[in-house]
Amino acid sequence: TSLAAAGVSREQIDTVLLTHLHFDHAGGLTRKREDNTLELEFPNAEIIVQRGEWETARANWPELRGVYSQENLNPLADSGNLRLIEGDVEILPGVRTLVTGGHTEFHQAIVIERGGETLVYLGDICPTHWHLPTAWCIGYDLFQLQTRRMKLKLLPEIASSNWWALFDHDPKYAAARLTLDERDEPAIGEAVVQL
């Protein structure tokens, strides 16, 4: 619906870059046909994810079955559309990945540089503005110490560079420029409110 409102069809999407493969991030990669089988939502898109994330998602470990939907990943595995990358990679001019770990072992943020602005899509390393304090992690983080270490490094860099932080689960803010408070913890500066 959102793509149609922008005059774009799902067939026109040529690149999908994922932070990780949990169901709430990768579940939209597929859609049900009339016969209830699944097909790729973006049939002409290259789907890009870290190799280690793909391997973890496909391992089908019992303790992670609730977060990785094999049903949604199977059409991708069979499609030829999957591109597995390793480490920090420039995907397109001005678009690069930054492996953060923490939430999952191979979770990645997405850095977008365009027109003199830099935006950092944080994924689930910092899913809402309430998770800006270093010690605040989410229960789904597999490696909370790594999440905290990455936030200690990345969030002050975002603040000092005057970049935009993009939140994916925040009901209040879509994006914000960050500042550091009196304890040197990241805080909201200028913000873009969710519509």
Query: Which among 125, 85, 130 is positioned nearest to 107, based on CA atoms?
Result: 125
Ranges of the chain with pLDDT below 70 = none
Q: What pLDDT does 1 receive? A: 87
Between β-strands 15-17 and 46-50, what pairing exists: parallel, antiparallel or unpaired?
A: parallel
Give dist(CA 173, CA 191) in Å, integer.
7
Question: What's the one-letter identity of residue 1?
Answer: T
Give dist(CA 67, CA 57) in Å, integer.
9
DSSP string, 31-95: EE-TTS-EEESSTTPEEEEEHHHHHHHHT--GGGTTTS-HHHHHHHHTTS-EEEE-SS-EEETTE
pLDDT (tens digit per residue) in 72-111: 999 999 999 999 999 999 999 999 999 999 999 999 999 9
DSSP assigned state of 11: G
DSSP string, 59-71: T--GGGTTTS-HH
Report pTM: 0.94
| Residue 179 parent element (H or E) | strand 173-180
- 43 phi and psi angles, rounded to 5 deg: -65, -20
Give dist(CA 155, CA 162) in Å, integer.
11
